């Protein structure tokens, strides 16, 4: 079995989280007999190995100039580097054709436009497409576009949304790295599996004397993070705008390129110079240096406030039996360890800072001790354990491909279904009744029943498929239901639990739902409305139910949650309701 | 000796800065530390002296003889007094819980406060620190690169470490308290320290010839040369007066060491054929006696700095009966009050007109000088240091 992974970074000298995860995937699959290769469209970095086994497409100066002009990003816009140059595109296609992989694994959606173009040009490819899903990127895009112009932000936001949505809808399987992400992607109706992030046993320590000398006079906490903007945002949010609460003999040891962000303007509103004086900048370290600091530091802080997925650093700190101060976002996927010795989870910045101070104060803390069952649980953090479901999952996908036999699956050669998205101001004319004032981010429902009126001029025969992106306001994390009706009856009932707030709801508009002008209405009935002010969630005194942030429209069925479809079953009861609504 | 601290309590005076600046003309902070050291050396038997050595990251006791050698011209008492069981050698300092540790030196470039904090955690000494200003916090853009980290660290560490902070002006005290509030720290107890304006004049017989200046025929600005001190505005005014009122113009003398980020200004001065050297000159490394002569023989003095912790040259000018046109920013109005001629340091036109007024109206200048001689009470370093000692001892816990 052959795997080809595609990312926007090399993995032969793994340093940051994404590199470590993909590298681990290769190691684990190879140990199970797979052949693996990696292809990267990347920015060359100092210290990169000269000879690598990866298939590399380093971005050139001309492309950097292009990105500068459009305020583009080297990751999100990476696929264009291949797709817009015939020579490079053929070279990249030749890598796939020459290798003939069973599975192409996209760790992010960024290179999907290339794979999509490849599939269109090579319809006979047997490779199954897997979205490796390090995160739900659509939810993170805001964090990486701060500082860009409005136009650039909107372009990137839309591109990320479109790429991820299209890939999740078109791929053959999805591997998510946290239960939350898995739930999100399950709405696309694809085979999916959870493979949390893990850790390798600690490497041999290096530079021990150097780091022992540099940290000797201080109580220290370790923060390890790459230059991904949310890492700096989380650090500043949780540790605060002023680090003056750290005593003269207390320091945060920062490992990784996040330091370059913290040094630059934009993260701390003020006191940047002083705050940096409370940081020991360890730079980017190899595994040996990191192992040394893990041992020397009083503990590890995981101030993560945004993002999905599971955090490699959490696994690393847990497995190495170090005291931890973390947010619950950092513990995502590791919730079972939350009450382990030395683990403190705090989501309020002040409480987080108090826990950090307590950690720094215990400079001579004895080693943490664990119960035998806790020791066993910690061993499940190793990569071979966290990725154990991946190989069978990929085997099954590849087997499906074989049973369908050649020619390649019809869908793989077809262009994606034409889809239109209505969002922001395009939603305003659709708000018929039961809504608060229009807001570009999505108008909130004001009454239990809120109604959209839609027209599909010239739609012709056949159903129209919608996917409504709905977000409920549920500050008390109660069970909330939203029922969806069309004139023809109840379509579905969606139940929202404590934590899930957003869902893409599939709705089918049949010819019978539309009148002669191709107009129809959709009725959303929510079981509860809440007020932000009464739930101490701001000063807004309105009663809010849910809001619709976007509606996708297509002639083909769109992936989305159908919930309990009961079309027709309620015809007897919906009639009176509709009568009242009219 | 009146001593609220009790005769046995050791008063440790930091001499690190004076030792580092040995052999240089003492200005600003170095002068303040030397005046304090000299006072405690001569008037406080329980005083001992120490330094922090960055190279070996250690505190050392400095023998009184070595301290006395900092002041070769001044009569010393304690330097020749037997040391009564004390080891007057350079030995490692080991703090005791009842020690009073006083520093008025330049500490932000070294790890002094971090190390002292660690010692205080262990020993619990009473720590006293002088703060002159917080320029690198208020105006980081006017400071050498790196100062935006080192200096606020020193100030925050001082809040963690010091039991008592002396500020040299009410303005500095307000700025410091405001900064501590902004970073979320409780400010230590604050007290006010006064600075003297007398200049030792022991050595040089007649500096006039060496300086090449005619008494009464120059205007003086004494200050380190750096952008915050606003020399450029004075250069521009002299350029303008050279064009419009040359008959009444006299040379403008900048006295001070050339500091950071002044390459453009120095180029302006040297490249100006109209002004340099007849109407604008820079004098660095000026000895105390020369400085005293310059003050006494200037037509009047200028002090247009954008921000200060005090403004010693204003006091030095007024103490010699000389008119000083000074900035109205930060602490500077505290120095001479209504006896200094205060103007907004960004008001080019106002400064030009006031300078021209005193250059052309000798009667007005003489009348203003008479007011200064009548009203200004110069503070001597000796009196200021006596008050510092009294205030320090009064603040010590009983």
In total, how many domains does chain A have? 3
Contacts of A271 in chain B (CB under 8 A): 152, 182-183
Could you give phi then psi for residue A191, rounded to 5 degrees?
Answer: -55, 135
Q: Kindly state whether residue A22 falls inside one of the protein's structural domains.
A: yes
Torsion sign across C-alpha atoms B244, B247, B253, B258: positive
Is A456 in the same domain as A509? yes
Mark yes or no for CB contact A217/B114 under 8 Å: yes
CB contact under 8 A, A248 and B150: no
Do A329 and A233 share a domain, yes or no?
yes
Q: Smallest Cα–Cα separation from A370: which of A315, A314, A322, A299?
A: A322
Q: Is A262 in the same domain as A309? A: yes
Give A272's contacts in chain B (Cβ within 8 Å): 148
- CATH number for the domain including A220? 3.40.50.2000
Residue A342: inside a domain, yes or no?
Answer: yes
Give residue ranges of B with CB < 8 Å to any A CB: 113-115, 117-118, 121, 140, 148-153, 156-157, 159-161, 182-185
With contact defined as beta carbons under 8 Å apart, do A407 and A116 qualify?
Answer: no
Contacts of A39 (CB under 8 A, 6+ apart): A4, A5, A6, A7, A54, A55, A56, A57, A92, A95, A96
Using alpha carbons, list the distances in angstroms from residue B250 to B171, B238, B355. 34, 9, 11
Residue of B nearest to A263 (CA): B149
| Residue position matching structure tokens 């173009």 | A117
A318 and A189 co-located in one domain:
no
Query: What domains lie within chain B, and their CATH numbers?
Result: 11-196+381-395 (3.40.50.2000), 207-375 (3.40.50.2000)
Characterize the bridge pairing of strands B11-14 and A546-554: unpaired
Q: List chain B residues with CB under 8 Å of A279.
A: none
Give the minimum alpha-carbon distance from B230 to chain A in angstroms, rounded to a whole number: 25
Q: Is residue A156 within 8 Å of residue A141, measured between CB atoms?
A: yes
Query: Would you state the pLDDT for residue A518?
Result: 73
Tell me, rounded to whole angstroms, the distance of Cα B296 from its chain centroid.
20
Which pLDDT tens digit goes with each residue over A474-488?
888 888 889 888 877
* Contact A274/B at CB under 8 A: yes
- Which tokens in the block code for residue A149? 């112009």
Does a structural domain hold residue A201? no
The Cα–Cα gap between A38 and A4 comes to 5
Taking the C-alpha atoms of residue A575 and residue A238, their distance in angstroms, rounded to an integer, is 53
A524 phi-psi bin (left φ>0, alpha ψ -120 to 50, beta other): beta
Q: Where are the beta strands (DSSP E) in A145-294?
A: 173-176, 192-194, 219-224, 250-255, 279-283
B159 with A273: Cβ contact below 8 A: no
Q: Do the domain assignments include residue A203?
A: no
Query: Can you list the residues of chain B whose pLDDT is less than 70?
Result: 1-7, 24-27, 73-89, 201-207
CA pair distance B266, B268, nearest whole angstrom: 5
The reply to whether A170 and A259 lie within a common domain is no
Which tens digit of pLDDT belongs to each residue from B188-237? 999 999 999 887 765 556 667 778 899 999 999 999 999 999 999 999 99
3-state secondary structure B143-176: CCCCHHHHHHHHHHHHHHHCCEEEECCHHHHHHH
Domain containing residue A552: CATH number: 2.60.120
For each of chain A's 582 residues, which pLDDT tens digit applies? 899 999 999 998 887 788 999 999 999 999 989 999 999 999 988 777 777 778 999 999 999 999 999 999 999 999 999 999 999 999 999 999 999 999 999 999 999 999 999 999 888 788 999 999 878 888 777 777 777 889 999 999 999 999 999 999 999 999 998 888 888 888 888 899 999 888 988 778 888 899 999 999 999 999 999 888 889 999 999 999 999 999 999 999 999 999 999 999 989 989 999 999 999 999 988 888 999 999 999 999 999 998 666 788 899 999 999 999 999 999 988 899 999 999 999 999 999 999 999 999 988 788 899 999 999 999 999 999 999 999 999 998 888 766 553 333 333 333 334 778 888 777 887 888 889 888 888 889 998 889 898 888 777 778 899 999 999 988 888 888 898 888 777 888 888 887 788 888 889 888 777 776 677 889 898 888 888 887 777 788 888 999 999 999 888 888 777 664 333 333 333 333 333 433
Phi and psi angles of residue B295, each rounded to the nearest 5 degrees, phi first? -60, -45
Residue A104 is inside which H or E element, if any? strand A103-106
Q: Report the C-alpha gap between A25 and A133 in whole angstroms.
A: 13
* Interchain CB distance below 8 Å, A278 and B153: yes
Give the angle subtended at the CA of B113 by the CAs of B112 and B117, to the nearest 5°. Answer: 125
CB-neighbour burial class of residue B11 (10 A; exposed 0-12, middle 13-18, buried 19+)? buried
Closest by Cβ to A273, choosing from B115, B121, B148: B148
- Compute how many other C-beta atoms are within 10 angstroms of the C-beta atom of residue A571: 12
Looking at residue B203, what is its pLDDT? Answer: 56
Angle, helix B381-395 to helix B28-43, in steps of 10 degrees: 70
Of A271, A277, A278, the CB nearest to B150: A277
pLDDT value, residue A126: 85
- Contact residues, chain B, for A264 at CB < 8 Å: none
Same domain? For A87 and A224 the reply is no
Name the residue facing A244 among B114, B140, B156 (closest C-beta): B156
How far is Cα A34 from Cα B22, in angstroms, rounded to an integer?
73
Which pLDDT score is estimated for B74? 52
Interchain CB contacts (distance < 8 Å): A and B: 48
Please tell me the predicted confidence (pLDDT) of residue B28.
80
Residues A94 and A128 in one domain: yes
pLDDT at A307: 66
pLDDT at A403: 55
Q: Cα dist. A123→A39, A79, A88, B160 in Å?
A: 20, 19, 19, 70
Complex ipTM over 0.90: no
Q: Which helix (H) or strand (E) holds A41?
A: strand A35-42
Q: How far apart are CA A501 and CA A546, in angstroms?
A: 9
How far apart CA B157 and CA A561 sit, in angstroms, is 57
Among A244, A246, A280, the residue to mutate for chain B (most B Cβ within 10 A): A244
Same domain, A223 and A326: yes
The domain in which residue A560 lies consists of 419-581
Phi-psi region at B395: left, alpha or beta (left = phi > 0; alpha = psi -120 to 50)? alpha
Answer yes or no: are the C-beta atoms of A393 and A193 closer than 8 Å.
Answer: yes
B149 and A242 within 8 Å at the Cβ level: the answer is no
Q: Are residues A57 and A90 in the same domain?
A: yes
Name the strand (E) or helix (H) holding A356: helix A349-361
**Angstroms from B124 CA to nearest CA on chain A:** 15
**Residues A213 and A304 grouped into a single domain:** yes
Say if residue A428 is in the same domain as residue A397: no
- Closest by CA to A221, choosing from A242, A235, A207, A201, is A235
Output the pLDDT for position A491. 82
Q: Phi/psi of residue B383, each to 5°?
A: -65, -40
The strands making up A2-7's β-sheet, listed across from edge to edge, are A55-58, A35-42, A2-7, A103-106, A128-131, A173-176, A192-194
Coil/strand/helix, residue B394: helix
Specify whether A374 is located in the same domain as A493.
no
């Amino acid at each position: 079995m052959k795997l080809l992974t595609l990312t926007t970074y090399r993995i032969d000298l793994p340093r940051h989280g994404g590199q470590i995860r993909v590298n681990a995937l290769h190691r684990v699959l190879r140990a199970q007999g797979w052949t693996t290769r990696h292809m990267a469209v990347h920015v060359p970095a100092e210290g990169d190995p000269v000879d690598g086994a990866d298939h590399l497409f380093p971005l050139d100066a001309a492309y950097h100039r292009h990105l500068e002009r459009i305020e583009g990003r080297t990751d999100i816009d990476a696929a264009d580097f291949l797709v817009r140059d015939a020579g490079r595109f053929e070279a990249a296609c030749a890598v796939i054709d020459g290798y003939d992989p069973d599975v192409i694994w996209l760790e992010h959606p960024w290179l999907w436009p290339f794979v999509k173009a490849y599939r269109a040009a090579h319809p006979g490819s047997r490779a199954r497409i897997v979205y490796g899903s390090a995160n739900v990127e659509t939810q993170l895009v805001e964090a990486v576009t701060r500082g860009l112009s409005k136009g650039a932000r909107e372009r990137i936001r839309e591109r990320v949304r479109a790429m991820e949505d299209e890939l999740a809808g078109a791929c053959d399987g999805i591997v998510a790295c946290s239960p939350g992400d898995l739930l999100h992607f399950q709405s696309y109706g694809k085979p999916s599996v959870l493979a949390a992030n893990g850790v390798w046993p600690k490497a041999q320590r290096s530079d021990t004397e150097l780091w022992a000398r540099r940290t000797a006079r201080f109580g220290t906490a370790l923060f390890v993070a790459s230059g991904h903007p949310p890492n700096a945002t989380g650090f500043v949010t949780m540790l605060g705008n002023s680090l003056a609460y750290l005593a003269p003999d207390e320091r945060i040891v920062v490992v990784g390129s996040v330091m370059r962000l913290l040094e630059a303007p934009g993260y701390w509103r003020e006191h940047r110079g002083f705050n940096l004086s409370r940081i020991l900048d360890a730079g980017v370290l190899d595994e040996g240096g990191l192992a040394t600091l893990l041992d020397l530091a009083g503990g590890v802080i995981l101030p993560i406030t945004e993002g999905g997925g599971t955090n490699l650093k959490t696994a690393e700190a847990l497995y190495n039996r170090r005291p931890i101060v973390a947010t619950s976002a950092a513990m995502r996927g590791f919730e079972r360890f939350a009450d382990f010795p030395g683990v403190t989870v705090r989501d309020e910045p002040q409480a987080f800072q108090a826990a950090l101070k307590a950690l720094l104060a215990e400079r001579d803390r004895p080693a943490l001790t664990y119960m035998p069952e806790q020791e066993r649980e910690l061993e499940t953090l190793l990569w071979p354990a966290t990725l154990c479901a991946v190989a069978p999952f990929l085997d099954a996908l590849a087997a499906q491909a074989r049973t369908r036999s050649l020619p390649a699956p019809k869908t793989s050669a077809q262009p994606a279904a034409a889809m239109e998205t209505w969002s922001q101001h395009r939603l305003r004319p659709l708000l018929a009744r039961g809504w608060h004032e229009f807001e570009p981010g999505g108008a909130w429902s004001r009454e239990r029943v809120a109604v959209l009126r839609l027209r599909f001029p010239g739609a012709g025969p056949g159903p129209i498929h919608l996917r409504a992106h709905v977000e409920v306001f549920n500050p008390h994390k109660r069970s909330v239901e939203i029922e969806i009706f069309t004139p023809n009856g109840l379509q579905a009932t969606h139940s929202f639990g404590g934590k899930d707030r957003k869902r893409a709801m599939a709705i089918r508009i049949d010819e019978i739902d539309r009148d002669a002008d191709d107009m129809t209405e959709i009725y959303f009935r929510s079981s509860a409305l809440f007020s932000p002010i009464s739930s101490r969630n701001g000063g807004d005194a309105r009663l809010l139910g849910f809001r619709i942030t976007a509606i996708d429209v297509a002639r083909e069925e769109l992936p989305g949650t159908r919930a309990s479809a009961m079309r027709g079953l309620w015809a007897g009861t919906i009639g009176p309701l509709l009568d009242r609504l009219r | 000796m009146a001593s609220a601290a009790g005769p046995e309590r050791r008063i440790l005076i930091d001499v690190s800065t004076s030792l580092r600046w040995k052999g240089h003309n003492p200005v600003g902070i170095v002068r303040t530390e030397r005046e304090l050291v000299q006072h405690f050396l001569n008037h406080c038997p329980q005083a001992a002296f120490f330094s922090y050595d960055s190279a070996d990251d250690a505190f050392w006791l400095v023998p009184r003889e070595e301290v006395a050698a900092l002041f070769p011209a001044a009569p010393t008492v304690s330097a020749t007094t037997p040391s009564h069981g004390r080891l007057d050698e350079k030995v490692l300092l080991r703090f005791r819980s009842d020690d009073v540790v006083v520093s008025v030196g330049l500490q932000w470039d070294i790890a002094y406060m971090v190390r002292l904090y660690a010692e205080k955690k262990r020993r619990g000494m009473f720590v006293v620190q002088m703060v002159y200003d917080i320029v690198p916090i208020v105006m980081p853009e006017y400071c050498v690169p790196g100062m935006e980290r080192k200096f606020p660290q020193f100030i925050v560490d001082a809040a963690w470490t010091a039991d008592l902070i002396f500020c040299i002006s009410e303005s500095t005290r307000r700025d410091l308290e405001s900064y501590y509030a902004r970073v979320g720290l409780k400010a230590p107890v604050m007290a006010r320290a006064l600075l003297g304006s007398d200049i030792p004049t022991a050595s040089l017989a007649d500096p006039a010839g060496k300086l090449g200046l005619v008494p009464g025929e120059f205007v003086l600005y004494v200050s380190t040369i750096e952008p915050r001190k606003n020399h450029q505005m004075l250069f521009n005014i002299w350029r303008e007066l050279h064009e419009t009122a040359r008959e009444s113009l006299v040379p403008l003398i900048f006295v001070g060491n050339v500091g950071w980020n002044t390459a453009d200004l120095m180029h302006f001065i040297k490249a100006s054929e109209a002004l340099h050297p007849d109407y604008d000159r820079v004098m660095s490394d000026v000895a105390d006696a020369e400085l005293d002569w310059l003050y006494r023989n200037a037509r009047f003095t200028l002090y247009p700095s954008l921000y200060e912790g005090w403004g010693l040259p204003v006091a030095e000018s007024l103490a010699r009966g000389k008119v000083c046109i000074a900035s109205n920013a930060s602490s500077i109005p505290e120095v001479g009050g209504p006896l200094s001629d205060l103007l907004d340091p960004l008001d080019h036109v106002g400064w030009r007109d006031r300078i021209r007024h005193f250059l052309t109206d000798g009667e007005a200048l003489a009348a203003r000088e008479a007011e200064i001689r009548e009203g200004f009470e110069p503070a001597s370093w000796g009196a200021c240091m006596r008050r510092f000692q009294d205030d320090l001892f009064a603040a010590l816990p009983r």
